[in-house]
Chain A
Amino acid sequence: MSDVEGLDLGVFNAGDADTMTIATDKPREGDSAPTYEPRGPLSTQLMAALATTPETGEGMLASFVPAVERVLGSTRDVIRDEDIQLALFVLYSVHYGGKGSADPAWEWNPVTIAARVAIEKVFERELRLRVPVAALPPAKAHSVAAALFELAREDSGPSLSQYVARTASREQLVEFLVQKSIYTLKEADPHSWAIPRITGRAKAALVEIQADEYGGGRAERMHSEIFAGTMRLLGLDPAYGAYVDNVPALTLASFNMMSMFGLNRRLLGAIAGHLAAFEMTSSVPNRFYGNGFRRLGFGPDATWYFDEHVEADAVHEQIACRDLAGSLAEDEPRLLDDIMFGARACLMVDGWVADDIRAAWASGKSSLRRAAPGGDRGAS
């Protein structure tokens, strides 16, 4: 026990006040403005405003929410709309912090929040429309786990990993890492938003998984860090956001979906289901990905990320399906619907991402919006 007498109780005398600075007005080092290449009117207007502080920038967003509504009303597909998905990605970055996150004073600004909520409404509705409907399992941990394993088994997923294992060129491996970097450099973060919102055994399960994702107390074992190491070994820049301009809307949408599920308490079931599906379709594909890098002569340093996931996700999938998603459904049966929705949405959207990459490669093209500078492609 500490000696109470000796504790700093946070009482400042008048003299201290002069030297105190209010930290909230000051962006942390690294909280830089988003400077991605705009993809349409929304991302142009938003990033111009976010380059400043709310005091100066709010005026620049005066017509922003109506503009968002207009674009949402006319888009052919909100999930693949480059301008909308980049704008949403930037709006979430304000919550995550770090590179491209703008001045933190923007985080709870009524205009940026209203814009985010407007996009989320249409994005979520579209996901719910397109996720295949199916009968729900009983709200019992073992039934939910069995249903999730069945979903994962039906998932057409392994084709991209098999292509990487057997056929992909070095340039395609680089491209694969660029695509993956949008989520993986923040691996586990979107699901961590759920921790304070969940209780009991489901919370214990979520924290057990996340602790392992974050390296079990060793920073160098953090999955995002291990991935950054693989990027470096292939000549890529692991700074967050370095390749946002290179990836198409759908890749951003996959990450935006996780951020939406994680940041909205009403979607707690969906983020739990998402994590379960993600973990349950990971260990086997990662073995194939690792094999692809080995086939092209990369050593254990480069394949560590994939090898780590083969072992880790074989553990995580067991915890995620029964102790996280299963227990949550059992303890809060009203969340069952969204648990299954989140799992299906994960498999659906990530299935599309994989299909698009495969289709581009099959026709001899790049799956990126533009070739990645650096890496082995060496373009631009």
Chain B
Amino acid sequence: MIVACPDGPLLVRGEVDIFSTTGEEIQQNRKTIALCRCGVSTIKPFCDGSHKLVNFRTEPPEPEATT
């Protein structure tokens, strides 16, 4: 099961195997993992929370209220 977290990672529950593009299996240390989708994590493919520092947005910003 994959949950797309708003402005954040993909949360993956359940068994998946993750491989690098060269075919090495990437070790997972926990049952539920977060996969980076902002591109700036220092521990890719996992999320390290950096998406918050770069203000990563998965939704278009709300239109500014006009006064």
Contacts and interface: CB of A to CB of B under 8 A. Distances in A.
Nearest to A283: B49
B43 A310 contact: yes
Contact of B48 (A153, A216, A314, A322): A314
Contacts, number: 63
Contact of A142 (B6, B52, B53): B6
A265 B48 CA distance: 33
Interface of B: 3, 5-9, 11, 29-34, 42-43, 46-50, 52-53
Given A315-B11, A318-B8, A211 B52 contact: no
Interface majority SS on B: helix, strand, loop or mixed? loop
Contacts of B3: 318
A208 interface: yes
Contact of B34 (A142, A216, A314): A314
Contacts of A317: 49
A318 B48 contact: no
A314 B42 contact: no
Interface in A27-60: none
B4 to A, nearest CB: 10
A318 B48 CA distance: 12
21 contacts: A145-B6, A149-B7, A208-B32, A211-B31, A212-B30, A212-B31, A216-B31, A221-B29, A282-B49, A283-B49, A284-B48, A287-B48, A310-B42, A311-B29, A312-B30, A313-B49, A314-B47, A315-B11, A318-B8, A319-B11, A319-B32
B20 to A, nearest CB: 17
